[in-house]
Structure 1
């Protein structure tokens, strides 16, 4: 008989109950078994271990040296099991380590200001934040939650929407002072347009031209791997950038960046979701706490 065929924890629980209650009959009542079933279970356990654990007599039970050692280890193992189940329980206080994968823009403009409040609310949680705009495999990367911007592909992941943000083309006053502000699609083609160096769901910039939405290819002389890097290049006057509104709202308000071609903006939105592996059963309390907190506080617009 393989170990998979034996309920070893069940045997330990009954054995410990026999020892602590001083007899088969009392243990049987506590476990809702018959005395005969308890006696047979202990006999099977001893046969499987190849050692006598209890010396039986008509008056009392006495543990053998092997029984004493097995009792001590069994109580520790059962206590560890109880603790593991409490920690994994959906009703347990959120605690433990969360690995969160997010793009740099969300991390900088949405997540970072919220982290102190989240950790103050859940002091027993530790956050590992990994920043990348690349789409990762959550299972392979041992990731609990990932932030995804844009259309979601069909997958086994569960998603919670955090909001949607308008896309806008921006440039620095310095850049516009040197190269002028484009007013038409034709003029825009002559400007340096910063792009991403990885495959995007939508390649190019959608713009309204003569009542139709056209796609303008990205033909600039620089590409970056994340939206925050693109924002920094735009601030430095390197070229034009098309970015999520929440990442440049403060820059526009402060005059560091200027929105351009707004009359040609189709008003398309980029949705932001928190995705996670949630098909296999109840979520750990720590992960559920993070998802609920993001849904309440991380309002992307």
Structure 2
């Protein structure tokens, strides 16, 4: 029994590497062992557990339902083992930190903050991924993500980093051609740029005479990320509703004009750092979140009042 306990972490590491690399041969190369050794370790693991974890064909390697569950648990346990090693070594911030966030927020706030963070933590490798699509933190092996908007219920842990009010805006060229909407109802006669996210609203919220209303909007262009949205509205393709932080500079320079501000409901786009719970927070994740808190604390674009 003691021998098996000592071998479990090694089996987990080999199994996780096979899943990550998509095959026995690739995992063997990265682990510097033979493919037959990998095969024997996986077979021994499946025999000990009494269930099949992987289905192998000539073209692909697929996790069984039991394999999916074991893989998630193995990743968590291996992370805790790494954290224990770091704790024993004095809590040094080291290893690979995988960060995911939206393209606008990543470009404006995260990327500029990384050089200083890396300089302070030379033992760290930062792996950045900017996309407006929602990623599965466990499946994509992401340590921390920064999300815009209200968060759905989940097992993830969140820490608020800031907030930005939203603004309806358009380019002067578009308004010259199409006219300036004076009330939310006027948007029925305008090209409104919208997102194709599943969570995107088919209408925009406004407030009039103390009452909230949802104004249906439509247009000929839908996009999947905020950066494309900004380029479309700057090009005069229509009217957009976005977080003010994303277009504040363009409004300040007059490239974009805020619209229907008297009807702005004052709703906020919240910004959170989120990560997987269930164990001690890795030092590298904690250090990054604290770094971003310090960087964003005094930003007028993220206090919801600008």
Q: Which residue of 2 aligns with 1:151?
A: 150
Paired with 2:175 and 2:229, the residues of 1 have a C-alpha distance of 17
Match of 1:291 among 285, 289, 299: 289
Paired with 1:84 and 1:135, the residues of 2 have a C-alpha distance of 26
Paired with 2:244 and 2:8, the residues of 1 have a C-alpha distance of 58
> How far off is 1:135 after superposition?
1.8
Taking a change above 3 Å as real, the CA distance of residues 191 and 5 of structure 1, as seen in their structure-2 partners, is closer
Q: Which residue of 2 aligns with 1:238?
A: 237
Paired with 1:197 and 1:138, the residues of 2 have a C-alpha distance of 22
Paired with 2:158 and 2:187, the residues of 1 have a C-alpha distance of 37
Q: Which residue of 1 aligns with 2:4?
A: 4
Taking a change above 3 Å as real, the CA distance of residues 243 and 5 of structure 1, as seen in their structure-2 partners, is closer
Contact kept in structure 1, 2:102 and 2:130, CA below 8 Å: yes
Q: Secondary structure at the match of 2:150?
A: coil
Taking a change above 3 Å as real, the CA distance of residues 90 and 174 of structure 1, as seen in their structure-2 partners, is farther
Q: Which residue of 2 aligns with 1:41?
A: none
Contact kept in structure 1, 2:174 and 2:236, CA below 8 Å: yes
Q: Unaligned stretches of 5+ in structure 2?
A: 10-80
Q: List per-residue Cα deviations over 1:71-103 (Å, max 9, x = no partner).
A: xxxxxxxxxxx9985435584221121111101
Contact kept in structure 2, 1:104 and 1:132, CA below 8 Å: yes
Larger Rg: 1
Contact kept in structure 2, 1:164 and 1:270, CA below 8 Å: yes
Taking a change above 3 Å as real, the CA distance of residues 261 and 157 of structure 1, as seen in their structure-2 partners, is same
TM-score scaled by structure 2? 0.69
Q: Which residue of 2 aligns with 1:194?
A: 193
Q: Unaligned stretches of 5+ in structure 1?
A: 10-81
> How far off is 1:244 after superposition?
0.4
Q: Which residue of 2 aligns with 1:94?
A: 93
TM-score scaled by structure 1? 0.70
Taking a change above 3 Å as real, the CA distance of residues 90 and 170 of structure 1, as seen in their structure-2 partners, is farther
Taking a change above 3 Å as real, the CA distance of residues 88 and 223 of structure 1, as seen in their structure-2 partners, is farther
Q: List per-residue Cα deviations over 1:198-248 (Å, max 9, x = no partner).
A: 112644210124542111223110000011210111111111110101111
Q: Secondary structure at the match of 2:189?
A: coil
Paired with 1:155 and 1:85, the residues of 2 have a C-alpha distance of 26
Show the 5 A alignment for 1:72-221. 85-87=84-86, 89=88, 91-200=90-199, 202-221=201-220
Q: Which residue of 1 aligns with 2:222?
A: 223
Paired with 1:101 and 1:249, the residues of 2 have a C-alpha distance of 23
Paired with 1:264 and 1:179, the residues of 2 have a C-alpha distance of 20
Q: Secondary structure at the match of 2:230?
A: helix
Q: Secondary structure at the match of 1:155?
A: coil
